[in-house]
Chains A and B, each alone.
Chain A
Amino acid sequence: MKGRFLDQIRIMLGRAPAKPEVVSEAAREIHQMKRMTKADFEAMKQHVRDHQLEKHTWRNRRWAVLIFANLLFTFSFWLDIQMLEGALTASRFVGFHLIDLNSALQVMLAHKHIIVNLFIGTATVFLLWVMLGGRTFCSWVCPYHLVAELFEALHLKLVDRKWVSDHSFHRGARTVFWVIFSLLAVVTGYTVFETLSPTSILSRALIYGPSLALGWVALLLVFEVVYSRRAWCRYVCPIGLTYGMVGTISPVRVVYDLRQCFHEGDCRKVCLVPHVLDMVIKGRSPEVKVPVGPDCTRCGLCVDTCPSGALKFEVKGLNELL
C-alpha cells in the first residue's frame, strides 16, 4: 500500500489508474481462486444475485440531506427563522460563520486580504469536511449535483436508445481549470469562477429567487444530456477538486473488499468518478481491503448497487472501535 496515498491524489488530478505493481500475498490468493471455470463463476454470481434486492438506501438518505440542507437556507430567509443565513458560498449557522472553501479561496486570491470572520468560517468548514469526507460536499450538499443526477438519468436513457453518445474528456482538465481559475483570481483581481459556478447560481436562485443565470445552468445541463455525461462535475468543477484535496485525509470513506467482489462492474457504471473504483477490475486490487480514493464523492451509489456487498461505508478508526 506504500505510495498509494500519493498515487490516489495523482489519479484525482487526472492521471489514468494503472494495474498495481505490487499485489499482497492474501490478495493474490483470492485473485488466483477467482480464476475458476466460467460455469462455476456464473453459478456463484447467480447465487449472490438471488439474495440481493435492488436498493436505493444511500441515494435516498443523500437526497434527503441535500434537499434539507438547501431548503434550510431558503426557509431561514423566507420564514425569517435565522437558522442558516446566507447562501452556499458563505453563511451563518445559528450565528457561526461557514464559508465555502472554493469561494473563500477565490476571494482570498482576488482580494489578497483575509479578515477574521473569513478565516474563522473557512477553517470551520475545512474541519467539517475533513471529518465528513471532502467531496461528500458534492453529492450530499451541492444543488447542482442533484439536478445533474436527474439529467444524467435522461442522458443514459437517450444513450440506451442510441440517440446520443457519451463523449469523454481528459480528467486532467479539471486540474487545469483549478489552476487557471486560481491564477485568474490572482491576476485579474476578480472572482472569475463565481460567474460560472452553477453551485453558487443555483444556491442563490433557491434563496433569492430565479435569475437569468439559471439559463447558463440550463445550458450546462443540455450539454451533459446530449454530449457528455456529468461533464461539469467530472471535467470542470474546481470546487470538487478543492474538496477532493480536503478529503485526502478524511476518515469517512467507502472501502472495497476483494473477497466479496465478483467483478461485475455495476459499481463503475453508476459511479460519477469511476477511476476511483479501478481496483474492482479483476486482478487490479493490491490488497484484500482497499479504501476508495479521495476523488470519491461518498455518494453511496456503488454501495447501493453492489449485489454482493463488496463496497461499504467505513469510518477509519471508528469501525475498529466498534
Chain B
Amino acid sequence: MSDDSDTRPRPATGKRPQSAHRAQQARREFIRTAVLSCGMIGAGLLGFLPVVQAGDKRLRPPGALDEKDFLSSCIKCGQCVQVCPVQAIRLGDLTDGFGIGVPFIEARDQACDFSCDAVQCILACPTGALTYEKPAFLPVREGAPLEHAPTLKAKAQDPEPTINLAERIGLARLARPEACLAMQGKGFSGPARGTTFEGEMRYMDVDRWQPIPIADHPYERTLCDLCVTECPIADAIRLEEVPSQDGTRRARPVVQEQCVGCGVCEMICPAEPAAIVIEARKTWEGES
C-alpha cells in the first residue's frame, strides 16, 4: 500500500536516467495524446458541416441577429424557450452542429403568435443574440428593417399598440397558390388543422392571457381567409379579389411590407402542405 516508490536513492543531479521502458511509455502517451487532440478538434469542427448545409433556412425567434452572428452570440441556455407562452421555440440538436442548443421555430407546428404581447424571448436573452436594438457595428441587410414598429392587432385598443421589433425574421410567401383555398374560391369549416393538431394560439375573444389549442377553435368561412384574419400583425397581409371566368368569388392573399415573418399564416393554413409559408431571413423586395 505504501506509496514510497520515489524514495529510492538517486544520483546527486536529481534527474533519474530514464529507462528504456519509461521512454517507450512516454512515447506511447505522446502518440495517444496527439491522436486524442486531433480527434476531439476534428469532432468539434464537424459541427461546421450542418451549418454550411442549413445556411440560414432555420426560422429564428423574433429579434434574432443575422444567422452567423446569432450562432456566435447565442449561449445555448434556452431561457427564450422557457418564457414563450405557446412553446413555439425549440432548441437545435447535435445534427445542427454549431447550432446545437440554439433556438428555432418550426412555424408549421407552432408559430410565434406574439401572445406574450412584449416579445418576452428578447427580454429573456442574456447575451443579446435576440435583441430589441442591434448594436451599431453589425450590418443591417436591406429590406430586413420594418418600416415602422408593428402594431399588434390584439393590442389595438391599448395605449401602446405596437411591439418593439425592428427587423423581420422572415417573410411570408404564397408558395403553392394552386393549393390555396381562397384561390380556388373555396371556403373552410372546422378546426383549421384537424382535431389532433397540437398547436396553440391566443384568441382575444376567448382569453387574452391564455392561449388555447387551435383544434378547440373551429372556423366557419365561406371564402377561406384564415391567413389574413389570424395574422397577429396589422397591415401585414390582405386578401385581393382575383377575376375568375366561372363567376365564383376568388381571392389571393397578398403579403404586405409590415409582415414580420412570425409564421402564424403557415401554421393556420388548412391546405396540406401549407399554401403559404415563411421564408426565414427573407427580406422585403416589394409586393409580389
Contact = CB atoms under 8 A, between A and B. Distances in A.
Contacts of B98: 190-192, 194-195
A92 B77 CA distance: 10
A259 interface: no
B185 interface: no
Interface string A26-67: 000000000000000100000000000000000000000000
Contact of A173 (B37, B43, B78, B95): B37
A177 B94 contact: no
B contact face: mostly helix, strand, loop, or mixed: helix
Contacts of B77: 86-91, 103
A194 B6 contact: no
A103 B135 CA distance: 21
A188 B97 CA distance: 13
A55 to B, nearest CB: 19
Contacts of A127: none
Interface string A68-106: 000000001100000001111111100001011001100
B75 A213 contact: no
A contact face: mostly helix, strand, loop, or mixed: helix
A155 B30 CA distance: 23
Contacts of B127: 90, 107, 111, 115, 117-118
A86 B101 CA distance: 12
A118 B6 contact: no
Contact of B47 (A107, A180, A195): A195
Contacts of B33: 169-170, 172-173, 235
B82 A211 contact: no
A24 interface: no
Interface stretch (B66-74, B215-223, B229-237): B66-74
Interface of A: 19, 41, 76-77, 85-92, 97, 99-100, 103-104, 107, 110-111, 113, 115, 117-118, 121, 167-170, 172-173, 176-177, 180-181, 184-185, 188-196, 200-201, 204, 207-208, 211-213, 215-216, 231, 235-236, 263-266, 268, 280-284
